Structure 1
Amino acid sequence: MKKYLIAASLLLSVSVFAQKDELKALRKMSRDVFPEAKDFNDYKSQLSALESKIGAADEEQKADYYYYKGVYGLAQMKANKASAKTYLDPTIESFNKVIELESGMKKKKHSEQINNMFYPELRSELINAASALGKQQKYKEAYPLYEKVYRISSKDTVYLYNAAAYAVNSQQYPKALEYYKELQQVGFTGTVLNYTAKNPKGEVEYFGDKKVRDLYVAQQSYTEPAIYREESKKGDIIKNIALIYINQGEKEKGMAALAEAKKANPDDTSLLMAEAQIYLEAKDYENYKKAVTQVLNQGSQDPNLYFNLGVTSSKSGQNEEATLYYKKAIELKPDFVEAYQNLGILQLEGEDAIVKEMNDLGTSSKEMKRYDALKKQRDDMYKQAVIYLEKAHEIKPEDENIKNILGTLYQGLEMMDKYKALKAE
């Protein structure tokens, strides 16, 4: 029995020494942080040899093993960017394992280098790649990269939010739902304090750090320092969770998610707005108006809310109410071109029926009299519409749709001078 124990002990010692030899070889090839391309095969062989024995290693040796495994993956990606698909996930997993193992050690041999050197570089590469794909509208390829940025640093919750948004854009709804729920669990709101100043071109620039912003202002090249706080994304997250459920045919789950959030925060405007948006997308205009009215009753002066109420009222045939809402939106935002445009179009309600009747009339004295009355009614509609559409054109002269409608009205009213001037623009 004693001989057996001695034999087992000897076998263990041999294994440990072997591990030390292999780790020593890996350390030697990583003298300049990354192995050279000529050493890749040998490096991989040493890692493979260690893999089967690592279960018997101590914590420090395990940390070394995962560190060198991560270094190998990063070296491969540096040598050939196309290999990122193969090595990216294992590299991040290896480095995270090192950080986990060293968290319980007094001496953190590798964690500092991973956090201060490897991860910032990897993070930057991933963000740039995801951003470039996003600009090309390749959202399906981009969203996993944003998720990986978050997995590298769980403090970077905004990138998980980006991943969720891109997953929605690429219709990867189950994955988007998973991300949004995780954002809820970690308490993400997206509220960020930015420090701003106008650059020499008069453009507003954003600074994450007040000291940096103040330095630019002190040099007198930047002016008008201010503070800008990003709105909370909490309501947006709840809204998207609910919409995804509804999209997947689980309306009850969607509305339940929203109701639960409202129960915990009954006066949260962002949640009321999320509820309103869901009703709007479902074309449930009556409940939409109720939800928006709640927001307005809490003191909101958002012109977009009044504009949307105008749209939903007009869709319900409540044109007088719609007119009041559009005018309120303009009162709050005098250059609200869409409100002017919709007000103009609203004046033309019933025009088709009038024109049809005019065209169906004959040439008798009675019919001609009726024709003249209908024409005056139509012209009065046109004149009222022109007032609003001219204002919309003044605000947004390049809008072809507004110009086309306005041109048709000018022709109908025989205002040929104005029509020619409009065509000449």
Structure 2
Amino acid sequence: MKNQILLLVALFICTATFAQKDELKAAEKAIKKSDYTTAIDQLTKAEGLISGADDKTKAKFYYLKGESYAALAKTDPSEANYQAAAESFNALFDVEETMGSTKYSVMAEPTLNAMVSEVSAKGIESYQNKNYSAAKTELYQVYNMSPKDTVYLEYAANAAYLDKDYDKALAYFTTLKDIGFTGISTEYTAVNKETGERENMGTENNMDLMVKTGTYSDPKVETSDSKQPTVIKNIAFVYVEKGDTEKALAAVRDARAVAPEDVNLILTEANLQIKLGNKDEFATLMNEAIEIDPTNAALFFNLGVISGEQGEYEKAKEYYNKCIELDPTYVDGYINLGSAMLEDDKALVEEMNKSLNNFDKYDEIKAKQSELYKSVIPLYEKAYELRPDDVDTIRTLMSLYENTEMDDKFQTMKEKYDSLK
């Protein structure tokens, strides 16, 4: 009886093996006829038994499946087709690496590379056109097709962040952190003697060869900085956007451990500390940031923004004044200084409303309001000079001119405003 069972098992295995080979042959014939739907049908029938097949059969199966889905993707460029093709090819590479063979891998690599090139071009174009919704999907698709190209996962993470898809951005940035992504690259360049332009030679050997020919000179090898601190920093920024203050603070501290003198990180932590009501920590971080970069106009501008958000308008004014002192062309410094000064207008309006029956008092407050408006006009005029097509600045100047009875200036500004509509 035992022998009969063993015989039946052997017959079953033999029958299954013949079935697999028949289906693979049928799939191969269908591919030659460009009948990829039939090929996939035959491969689907064989798939249930493929786990028990020998490595040679598995390699052939994954190759045929990858080629079939890659061909389908040319007429139906859906994510599912690209994904199925890429998964099949990557499974093929794993099997043949274990076998110590490259028979099918050599044939599959050009197809996979062509797919990666096609989808990456679409993803980069979407990104450049600021279609971040499409870009995040296409660029992540490239990473799925070619996991060794981790830079596309970074691009997908940035696209998801810009698309405000913070859950995906967090997942992608966290994956980059977990796999130890650095993004470090080495560039080999030399100067073309004919054009005088520095060109990328691709590899060190090619650079050396071109210099030896005498057509290129001044070879240079440059290695980029690690992107790991930026990845960790972006995780913190995503948590900030998600409103998860505690996790954001923990992530910022992780990032600061990698990049302790990154002023933007210090500002981010300071902002989080103030949200948690930790004013002493906030003040300490502010002083730390200023010590690191005392001539950075953008730093003082950001300090002004943070102070203004906390209602500390006098402190905000000091920072904005320092900002434009360091950089007289810092447009937003003038605008935000004017805005901080106009916070006093709220109290004046409230007083005026309480004095509607007291004409003398009302006129006195109205005069103070007019003086306030006149004091901020030069700030907005400077902003307009630096950025003449900013509609918000133009509207603010129109209102200020109207309320201070500067009719000629109001009319000039209105004409400018109308020309921009």
Shorter-chain TM-score tier: 0.7 to 0.9
Match of 2:40 among 44, 52, 56: 44
Counterpart in 2 of 1:203?
A: none
Match of 2:104 among 95, 104, 110: 110
Residue equivalent to 1:239: 236
From 295, 301, 312, give the equivalent of 1:307.
Answer: 301
Give the CA deviation at 1:240: 3.7
Aligned counterparts of 1:295 and 1:194: Cα–Cα separation in 2: 33
1:155-213 deviation per Cα after TM superposition (whole angstroms, max 9, x unaligned): 332322333344456665544433222111122345668999xxxxxxxxx9876899x
Contact 2:139–2:153, Cα closer than 8 Å, also in 1: yes
| 1:178 equivalent in structure 2 | 171
**Native 8 Å contact 1:99 1:111 kept in 2:** yes
Unaligned runs of 5+ in 2: 190-197, 216-221, 417-421
| Equivalent residue letter for 1:233 | T
1:151: which partner in 2? 144
Whether contact under 8 Å (1:235, 1:273) holds in the other structure is: no
In 2, Cα distance between the equivalents of 1:279 and 1:122? 47
How far does the alpha carbon of each residue in 1:369-397 deviate from its partner, in whole angstroms, 9 at most, with x for none? x945x455434323321121110110111
1:126 maps to 2:126: no
SS in 1 for 2:99: coil
2:380 aligned residue: 389
Is 1:323 matched with 2:310? no
The one-letter amino acid paired with 1:73 is: Y
Aligned residues: 391
Match of 1:70 in 2: 66
Alignment match, 2:408: 417
User: Runs of 5+ in structure 1 lacking a partner?
Assistant: 197-205, 220-225
Asked if the contact 1:329–1:336 (Cα under 8 Å) also holds between the matched residues in 2, the reply is yes
Q: Which amino acid is 1:242 matched to?
A: Y
Contact 1:347 1:385 in 2 (8 A): yes
**For residue 240 of structure 2, what is the amino acid of its counterpart?**
L
The equivalences for 1:275-354 within 5 A come to 275-276=269-270, 278=272, 282=275, 286=279, 290-299=284-293, 301-354=295-348
On the 8 A contact 2:307/2:315 being kept in 1, the answer is yes
- d(CA) in 2 for partners of 1:19 and 1:26? 10
Paired residue for 1:255, among 230, 245, 249?
A: 249
Q: Go from structure 1 to structure 2 and tell me whether the alpha carbon gap of 1:375 and 1:274 turns closer, same or farther (over 3 Å shift).
A: closer
Q: How far did 1:92 drift? A: 1.9
Residue in 1 that maps onto 2:51: 55
Q: Is this contact kept in 2: 1:66–1:95, CA < 8 A?
A: yes
Query: Conserved in 2, the CA contact under 8 Å of 1:239 and 1:275?
Result: no
In 2, distance between residues paired with 1:118 and 1:371? 81
CA distance, structure 2, for counterparts of residue 393 and residue 284 of structure 1: 37
Classify the secondary structure of the residue corresponding to 2:103: coil
- Residue identity matched to 1:36: S
Deviation at 1:316, TM superposition (A): 3.7
Check the 8 A contact 1:338/1:392 in 2, yes or no. yes
Letter in 2 for 1:334: P
Q: Which residue of structure 2 aligns with residue 404 of structure 1?
A: 395
Give 1:413 shift: 3.3
Q: CA–CA distance in 2 between the matches of 1:100 and 1:273?
A: 46
Distance 1:67 1:301 in 2: 60
Query: How has the CA–CA distance of structure 1 residues 278 and 207 changed in structure 2, closer, same or farther, with 3 Å as cutoff?
Result: farther
Distance in 2 between residues matched to 1:327 and 1:340, nearest whole Å: 8
State how far apart, in whole Å, the 1-side matches of 2:404 and 2:187 are.
52
Residue 188 of structure 1: SS of its match in structure 2? coil
Specify the alignment match of 2:193 in structure 1: none
Q: Alignment partner of 1:110: what SS?
A: helix
**Is the 2:239–2:248 Cα contact (8 Å) retained in structure 1?**
yes
Q: Distance in 2 between matches of 1:347 and 1:353?
A: 12
Name the CA distance, whole Å, in 2 between partners of 1:311 and 1:268: 18
- One of 181, 191, 198 as aligned partner of 1:188: 181
How far residue 273 of structure 1 moved from its aligned partner, in angstroms, is 4.6
Structure 1's 268 and 162: CA in aligned 2 closer, same or farther, altered over 3 A?
Answer: same
Q: Distance in 2 between matches of 1:113 and 1:307?
A: 57
CA distance 1:11–1:283, change in 2 (3 Å):
closer
1:340–1:7 distance in 2 versus 1, CA, 3 Å:
closer
- Match of 1:104, SS state, is helix
For the aligned residue pairs, the C-alpha RMSD in angstroms reads 4.3
SS of residue matched to 1:107: coil
Aligned equivalents of 2:225 and 2:356: distance in 1? 63
TM-score, with structure 1 as normaliser: 0.73
Q: How far, CA to CA, are the matches of 1:346 and 1:7 in structure 2?
A: 88
**How far does residue 406 in structure 1 lie from its aligned partner after superposition?**
1.8
Larger deviation: 65-74 or 265-274?
265-274
Q: Which residue of 1 aligns with 2:218?
A: none
- Alpha-carbon distance in structure 2 between the residues aligned to 1:293 and 1:156: 41
Cα distance in 1 for residues equivalent to 2:386 and 2:188: 31
Q: 1:305 to 1:76 in 2, by over 3 A?
A: same
One-letter amino acid of the counterpart of residue 95, structure 1: F
